[in-house]
Amino acid sequence: MPYLAIEGLCVSYGGTRVLDRVSIAVERGEMVALLGSSGCGKTTLLRSIAGFVIPQEGTIRVDGRDITRLPPERRDTAMMFQSYALWPHMTVAGNIGYGLRMRGWKAAAIARRVDEMLKLLQLDGFAARPVTQLSGGQRQRVALGRALAIDPHLLLLDEPMSNLDYKVRLELRHELRALQKRIGITAVYVTHDREEALTLADRIAVMDAGRIAQLGAPEDVFHRPLSAFVAGFMGADNALDLVRSPDAGFALAVTGTPQAERLRAHFRSDEVRLAHGAADAPRDALLLPGTVAQSFYVGHGYRYRIKAGAAEVWVEAPERLAEGAATTVVVPRAALLVFPPDHSRSQVS
């Protein structure tokens, strides 16, 4: 039996279904990222696990125990919020020990546990400092220490790094991942950041419209998406309607092509290249002659918006081209993620 088992969870607000028969299993010591855009249901799912939202249907079990309708304080879960929700009038030690005081721990035991958390999170010497005098990264560590101090069965994290600058986020991602593995806690992590999910998680659940569109290892979800929606969300955001060509390759669908003959193809901007023509292109590559509509310098090269007939695609390339220049986008067959036209949304629940 999985450590966290969610089966057929349904949540509605008014007449709107926010979670639609969601089922997911999380193993002990695993970190699963709930990845999706705003409104997809990922935070509602996390809050249902925490006990802040009671589902209309379905069950939530932790280590075999049904917690579906228990109040939050009886679930042995700890939630780390996007805002950290630290008490501004308390010190670092006061915030970390807050949950222990609420549970009736004695002062000496609280002090020992707080000291353990300070060492674990590399905050030695910060116990007496007011949290208002901390940096964003330090506050994030304090919030994590408060969550871990109560020794929860589940650690729930709701976009805890979204308020930090990019450099700090990069550092803390690796710290959090190493810490989670070292202490072996089971965790569910909500994020809309694809890179964050790929970096942190053992498995990723991509959510869309209240359902799980795909659940799998980061490599599988990234390289083998089950639907056009997942492909686009995982970075293959160039999308074209294609038809099969007589040589077993693909060509752009044209106006009047029946829907039944169309295929939806996605590809990543960094898996294609620009050329002056078709002479040196692989035989099975998709060729898109066009012109440079926009050009952006992105540090390691250039990002171009190419107008290819009725289609527009984005390409990353090292060479510099002027806007208006003629070029050909070469899309290798291996770069194309091809789906039937009715697979824009996955049916995985």
Q: Note the pLDDT tens digit of each residue in 5-50.
A: 999 999 999 889 999 999 999 999 999 999 999 889 999 999 999 9
Residue 277 has pLDDT above 80, yes or no: no
pTM for this predicted structure: 0.86
Report the Cα–Cα distance between both ends of the chain, in Å, rounded: 19
Fold of 4-232: Rossmann fold (3.40.50)
Asked if residue 92 lies in contact with residue 128, where contact means CB atoms within 8 angstroms, the answer is yes
Q: Collapsing DSSP states into helix, strand and coil, what is residue 181?
A: helix
Sign of CA dihedral 208, 68, 8, 220: positive
Query: What's the CA gap between 348 and 23, in Å, rounded?
Result: 10
Q: How many CB atoms lie within 10 A of CB 240?
A: 23
- Average pLDDT on 91-114 reads 90
What is the model's pLDDT at position 255?
A: 79
Q: Does domain 236-343 have CATH number 3.40.50.150?
A: no
Contacts of 25 by beta carbon, 8 Å cutoff, 6+ apart = 2, 4, 5, 6
For 47-74, what is each residue's pLDDT tens digit?
999 999 999 999 999 999 999 999 998 9
Locate the domains of the chain by residue range: 4-232, 236-343
